[in-house]
Structure 1
Amino acid sequence: MTRYIATSAAAYEQSMGRWSRRLAEGFLAACALPPGSHVLDAGCGTGALSEALRARDAGARIAGLDLAEPYLEAARARVPGGDFRQGDLQAMPFAEGAFDAALSLLVIAFVPDPARAAHELRRVTRRGGLVAVAMWDFWGGMPSMRLFADTAAALFPSGVAWRETHYGRLVGQPGTLGQLLEGAGLRDVTEHDLPLRMDYANFDAWLAPLRGQQGIIGPYLGSLGEDERAMFEARLREAWCAGAPDGPRSFAATARMAMGRA
């Protein structure tokens, strides 16, 4: 199972939540949900997708599910009137066919059994309803994260293990999410990319949010001893600069999206 820490909504927003907000727009545009749909935000986190859906459709009925109560508190504050519950994507507390659409943004790679979660997404979606998932392409579509992972692996045995854990399943590479949905019995499955750019003012602006002990990177940084961490951050800075002065950097980032009909 992937070790994922979710204890501070504010720290998550600084590290990855801001990119979730931007990605949500393209994700929902691709879903093209009818107005007033009953929608599940599966793995809702701090509510970025639910908030974007409410902004697009004030009449949408929104439910959210997540394991992390601190994130759920943030989602409830962002989307008043939403039904946000604590629960597991692998065993959802909803009836069969309860939703017009079940959506999951940037979550499925962190579930112990993604195939089981995909079956649950189909189960809670009505016949003919939409199931859509998206995940960062960590392997080939996130160079800013590969900078971190490859530097860690070059320095430490623990870095090799960490990279293998988070890159070994290839979730987010073309074909993987579509196969996951087809395996769960979804029909008319399609895939496409959701691209954006991640812009940072300098090295510290990139690294500081990653020190927030959230997600998958924070726990790894926290596991290093003081001397190891100092060396690691020095090597990260060298990789960031790559012979140029420190300063603004813009990284392409790609999430892969798959959707199909229940």
Structure 2
Amino acid sequence: MGDEWAGSDAYEDYVGRWSRRVADPFLRWLDVPAGKRWLDVGCGTGALTATVLTLKDPAQVIGLDSSEAFLVGARAQVSDARASFIVGDARTLPFPDDRFDAVVSGLALNFVPEPHLAVAEFGRVAAQGGTVAAYVWDYGEGMAMMRYFWDAATTLDPAAAELDEGRRFPICHPERLHRLWADTGLDDIVVEPIEVATVFSDFDDYWRPFLGGQGPAPGYAMSLDEQHRNALRDLLHARLPACPDGSVALTARAWAVKGVAA
């Protein structure tokens, strides 16, 4: 339900704006010098690609995503001759072996049906000694905006637990990410948390993105009839911590993993 994204605006309003905050510390964590060739797999609306261009001064960066709708948004956002965007499948990358100095993926790997195939492809197209790295939200414990949502949803509808990303995406965990990288044959593997603030101006700023209907949680919210959706909204309003000015200050944690191609 709602895993497919039909437009970049809904993604940006829901989670893209927070993805940008993770991209900066993630790239600073990677020891990749200027002038290198980058591949951004699952580039979405281009947040990570744009940050690569800003922070890493690459010779080239290619963004790949399975969603043409996302790539429309990425091309509109990134106007740099060093960047290009193509439609493709993370499990069968359309590139020769040893093509890139850095292969990265932001908040996409958990949506790939066979993530081990994708990471194997990351390693294949990375040059020897190149960096292979990714980050994913900690859906189980660290992504507060979604944790509050699913805890409220399952209070009202226990069957909603089956849709909770914390249950559905087991790779979003440090030990599992480390194992995934190790099983691919990557060396010098490190996993670290990255935590960013997610401050909503008021409750409506928090709730409105769930009405976009795209992504697991918004898809669930919009599958409800008006009475049950209003009940979920009211329970969230009662549970979310509000600051004196009405803002809602939460945090979001992502797990980042990096390794070196043998």
TM-score category, normalised to shorter length: over 0.9
State the secondary structure of the residue aligned to 1:217.
helix
Which residue in the other structure is 2:121 paired with? Answer: 120
AA paired with 1:68? S
Please provide the CA RMSD for this pair.
1.8
Alignment of 1:1-262 (within 5 A): 3-80=2-79, 81=81, 82-163=83-164, 166-240=166-240, 247-262=246-261
Q: Which whole-Å deviations, capped at 9, do the CAs of 1:97-135 have from their partners, x for residues lacking one?
A: 111110001111111111111111111111111000111
AA paired with 1:30? W
Residues of 2 paired with 1:147 and 1:52: CA distance? 29
State the secondary structure of the residue aligned to 2:174.
coil
Residues of 1 paired with 2:161 and 2:255: CA distance? 25
Superposition TM-score, scaled by structure 2 size: 0.93
State the secondary structure of the residue aligned to 1:127.
strand
| Matched-pair contact (CA < 8 Å) for 2:163–2:216 | no
Q: 1:246 to 1:149 in 2, by over 3 A?
A: farther
Which 4+ stretches in 1 moved above 4 angstroms?
none
Deviation for aligned residue 1:214: 2.2
Deviation for aligned residue 1:169: 3.7
| Matched-pair contact (CA < 8 Å) for 1:64–1:85 | yes
AA paired with 2:45? T
State the secondary structure of the residue aligned to 2:240.
helix
Deviation for aligned residue 1:260: 0.3
Deviates more, 1:244-253 or 1:226-235: 244-253
Residues of 1 paired with 2:105 and 2:39: CA distance? 8
Residues of 2 paired with 1:246 and 1:233: CA distance? 20
Superposition TM-score, scaled by structure 1 size: 0.93
Residues of 2 paired with 1:111 and 1:172: CA distance? 12
| Matched-pair contact (CA < 8 Å) for 1:137–1:171 | no
Residues of 2 paired with 1:166 and 1:111: CA distance? 15
Deviation for aligned residue 1:171: 2.5
Deviation for aligned residue 1:56: 1.9
Deviates more, 1:57-66 or 1:130-139: 57-66
| Matched-pair contact (CA < 8 Å) for 2:2–2:220 | no
Residues of 1 paired with 2:32 and 2:216: CA distance? 31
Residues of 2 paired with 1:203 and 1:77: CA distance? 30
Deviation for aligned residue 1:246: 8.2
Ranges in structure 2 where 5+ consecutive residues have no aligned partner? none
Deviation for aligned residue 1:147: 0.7
Deviation for aligned residue 1:158: 3.4
Ranges in structure 1 where 5+ consecutive residues have no aligned partner? none
